[in-house]
């Protein structure tokens, strides 16, 4: 069954091992788990004292938070979500434990696909965002490496600026 936002000219691609559905589900769960670890670390810090756990899990959560945001944008383009739905997807990363319920909601509504729409053999890209995504899907290993580098660079810049809350 076609999604309501799928156009008549959308071709059906073969399911991908790392589909939008699987990738988004994994990162939504990872983001939620890292939130839990960070909150536990904060409780330990203010209860017992060692700050090292906040540093470790804060960095881990920060990197997963950024990765979730980037993947949300990538999936948003693939699924042709509305602006409000895409922004809501991004906003769920800010609220502890909201990413997985959002992902499950998108799954129930049929808004997460088993394949990438712009993968080779799929739809022709329209516009600059879809052209970049189609290029990324033609070179998946290079794209994953570029994504990891982007997460590292963004995380490094944010750490240089200073941790959230102005802590040391």
Count other Cβ atoms within 10 Å, centred on residue 13: 19
Contact 25, 107 (CB under 8 A): yes
Task: Give the chain's domain count.
Answer: 1
Per-residue confidence (pLDDT) for residue 4, from 0 to 100: 44
Per residue in 37-61, pLDDT (tens digit) is 999 999 999 988 888 999 999 999 9
Residue 3 in domain = no
- Please give the distance of CA 66 from its chain centroid, rounded to a whole number: 7
Phi, psi of 113 (to 5 degrees): -90, 165
Q: Tell me: pLDDT of 25 over 70.
A: yes
Contact 111, 81 (CB under 8 A): yes
Domain limits at 128? 20-163
Residue 50 in domain = yes
Residue 39 in domain = yes
Residue 5 in domain = no
Percent of residues, the chain, with pLDDT higher than 90: 82
Per-residue confidence (pLDDT) for residue 104, from 0 to 100: 98
Q: In angstroms, rounded to a whole number, what is the distance separating the alpha carbons of residues 59 and 44?
A: 16
Residue 101 in domain = yes
Its pTM stands at 0.85
Residue 15 in domain = no
Q: How many residues does the chain have?
A: 168
Residue 67 in domain = yes
Q: Tell me: pLDDT of 164 over 80.
A: no
Per residue in 88-145, pLDDT (tens digit) is 999 999 999 999 999 999 999 999 999 999 999 999 999 999 999 999 999 999 999 9
Reported as type and span, the H/E element at residue 90 is helix 83-91
Predicted confidence band of residue 1 (pLDDT cuts 50, 70, 90): very low
Residue 13 in domain = no
Structure-block tokens of residue 48: 């017992």
Q: How far is CA 91 from CA 12, 21, 47, 63, 69, in A?
A: 30, 19, 30, 16, 9
């Amino acid at each position: 069954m076609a999604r309501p936002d799928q156009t008549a000219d959308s071709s059906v691609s073969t399911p991908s091992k790392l589909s939008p559905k699987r990738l988004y589900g994994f990162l939504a769960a990872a983001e939620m788990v890292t939130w839990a670890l960070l909150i536990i670390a904060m409780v330990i810090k203010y209860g017992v004292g060692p700050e090292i756990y906040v540093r470790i899990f804060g960095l881990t959560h920060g990197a997963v938070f950024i990765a979730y945001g980037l993947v949300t944008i990538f999936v948003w383009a693939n699924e042709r979500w509305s602006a409000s739905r895409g922004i809501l997807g991004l906003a769920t990363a800010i609220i502890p434990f909201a990413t997985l319920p959002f992902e499950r909601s998108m799954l129930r509504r049929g808004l997460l696909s088993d394949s990438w729409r712009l993968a080779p053999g799929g739809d022709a890209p329209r516009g600059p965002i879809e052209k970049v995504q189609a290029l990324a899907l033609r070179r998946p290993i290079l794209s994953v490496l570029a994504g990891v580098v982007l997460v590292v660079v963004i995380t490094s810049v944010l750490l240089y600026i200073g941790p959230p809350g102005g802590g040391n």
